[in-house]
Amino acid sequence: MMKRIVILGAGPAGITVAETLRKFDKTSEVIIISDEPYPPYSPPAMTEYFLTGKAFHLWKGSNFIDNYLNAKYLSGKSKRVVEVDPESCRVVLLDGEEIYFDNLVLATGSRLSASIKGMEKEGLYNFKSLSAAEEIMEKVREREAKSALVIGAGFIGIEIAVLLKELGVKVTQLVRSRYMRGMLDEEAAGVLMHIMENKGIDVLKGSDADTVEFMGDPDVRSVRVRSGKILTADLMIAATGIRPNVEFLSGSGIKVNDGVVVDEFMRTNYSQIYACGDIAETINRITRQRVVYPSFYNAVNQGVITAYNLLGMNIRYEGADRINSIKHIGIPLITAGDVDSKDGSSVVYKKGKGFIKKIFLKNGRIVGFILLNDITNAGIFKRLMDRQVDVSSYRDRLLDENFGEGLLYRSILKIM
């Protein structure tokens, strides 16, 4: 009997599940359901798309689902899933359509979140999805937006601020504490701020950057910050944080904590239902704590593991990574792991002409690193960190010019 696998969401996680499935299983019926009206796209390439107009974001091509996945694709607002019934293996769509499944994959991603007064009002834009981004771009293309206020200084905040600046919009960014808090330490965040300011972005800090309320009626027209100032711009863009799209699961019996709780095989509390990507609550590869780490890399990795387990391979997920490469700031910047911990970690540090490199260690093992404008050995550091290799015997050489695969592979010190 032909199996039916339903995948909710056509983002990186959902598409990867389908793609990996198809490598091994050409016969099962695959249905992908998405409420976005676009072919599958990759969010990290959106900026490039808007900058160049070329479809970089369609990373699997525009006809991927039809041509390669041989899957049924239900997309658009009316195809939003409103109910999941694990007991009868059935999902219900907004237009009333009921779909039964043998296996269900939850990969509905995440959306903007902020616990700020006035958050629910209209006229507040974000850059979390292609639909949301298109709304911003329309304003820019129509020349309705000449200035923008970007609230937040995380990964997405940086992307949209740089993109708008490149497109000729006057950008003000509110940086409450520092750029990429949690992903960069103070020094690197300082360098990043310098870069942003040099690009011509107006950076507001401290109480001038701490948003208290979105004001305007009915649409958001300005924000009030803690210092009491009222800031305004043509475009108000929130990049304050994201949260998993899990509301439609309430009452379904599927266990949800910060995100959908999955085991090491990416299974929810119902063995026929899996979850992956931004909505999944997994474990941190190194600390083994339960986390929701929304990122393209984790989404894709989890998608692959989900597919393997759908196929019955019983492959464990090693854990989610906190790692990112910050694009479009003019220099490469890679940050990974725990770079902000105060307890018991030591730092290997090297600063040179135009670059800063830092490796954070705990108990002789790498727990995080920041590579700013020199990404030499980035993947090797990640490998040593992922495997929690004891590097204490060569810790001082990690940032040497000659450190690398050669030294790891061929050492008279027998370090590996």
Q: In this complex, which beta carbon is closest to another protein, that of residue 16 or of residue 252?
A: 16
Binding segment for another protein (CB under 8 A), chosen from 115-123, 190-198, 258-266, 326-334, is 326-334
Report the residue from 168, 182, 352, 364 that binds another protein according to the rule CB under 8 A.
Answer: 352
CB 268 within 8 A of CB 106: yes
CA atoms of 47 and 159, how far apart (whole Å)? 7
Q: In this complex, which beta carbon is closest to another protein, that of residue 202 or of residue 386?
A: 386
Of 379, 327, 332, residue with least CA distance to 45: 327
Q: Indicate the DSSP class of residue 199.
A: T
Alpha helix positions (H), 65-154? 130-141
Of 332, 169, 150, 179, residue with least CA distance to 239: 150
Residue 402 makes contact with another protein by CB under 8 A: yes
Smallest distance, Å, CB 322 to another protein? 12
For residue 339, how far is the Cα from the chain centroid? 18
Report the residue from 382, 388, 390, 395 that binds another protein according to the rule CB under 8 A.
Answer: 382
Residue 99 makes contact with another protein by CB under 8 A: no
Please give the residues from 213 up to 242 whose contact with another protein meets the rule CB under 8 A.
none
- E-strand spans in 76-138? 81-85, 90-93, 98-100, 103-106, 110-112, 124-125
Residue 297 makes contact with another protein by CB under 8 A: yes
> What is the residue-wise DSSP string for 333-393?
EEEEE--S--SSEEEEEEEETTEEEEEEEETTEEEEEEEES--TTHHHHHHHHHTT-B-GG
Smallest distance, Å, CB 51 to another protein? 9
Burial code (b: 16+ CB inside 10 Å, e: under 16) for 47-60 equals bbbbeeeeebbbeb
Binding segment for another protein (CB under 8 A), chosen from 71-79, 100-108, 199-207, 378-386, is 378-386
Residue 330 makes contact with another protein by CB under 8 A: no
Residue 332 makes contact with another protein by CB under 8 A: yes
Binding segment for another protein (CB under 8 A), chosen from 92-100, 160-168, 294-302, 360-368, is 294-302
Residue 376 makes contact with another protein by CB under 8 A: yes
Q: In this complex, which beta carbon is closest to another protein, that of residue 219 or of residue 400?
A: 400
Residue 336 makes contact with another protein by CB under 8 A: yes
Smallest distance, Å, CB 381 to another protein? 9
Please give the residues from 14 up to 53 whose contact with another protein meets the rule CB under 8 A.
16, 42-45, 48
CA atoms of 54 and 58, how far apart (whole Å)? 9
CA atoms of 379 and 384, how far apart (whole Å)? 9
Alpha carbons within 13 angstroms on the beta-carbon side of residue 83 total 14
Smallest distance, Å, CB 54 to another protein? 9
Report the residue from 38, 56, 265, 270 that binds another protein according to the rule CB under 8 A.
Answer: 56
Binding segment for another protein (CB under 8 A), chosen from 1-9, 128-136, 210-218, 407-415, is 407-415
Binding segment for another protein (CB under 8 A), chosen from 124-132, 163-171, 179-187, 408-416, is 408-416
Burial code (b: 16+ CB inside 10 Å, e: under 16) for 100-139 equals ebebbbbbbbbebebebebbebeebbbbbbbebbeebbeb
The H or E element that residue 7 is part of is strand 4-8
Binding residues (CB under 8 A) for another protein: these are 12, 16, 42-45, 48, 56-61, 296-297, 300-301, 304, 323-325, 327, 332, 334, 336, 352-353, 375-380, 382-383, 396-397, 400-402, 404-407, 409-413
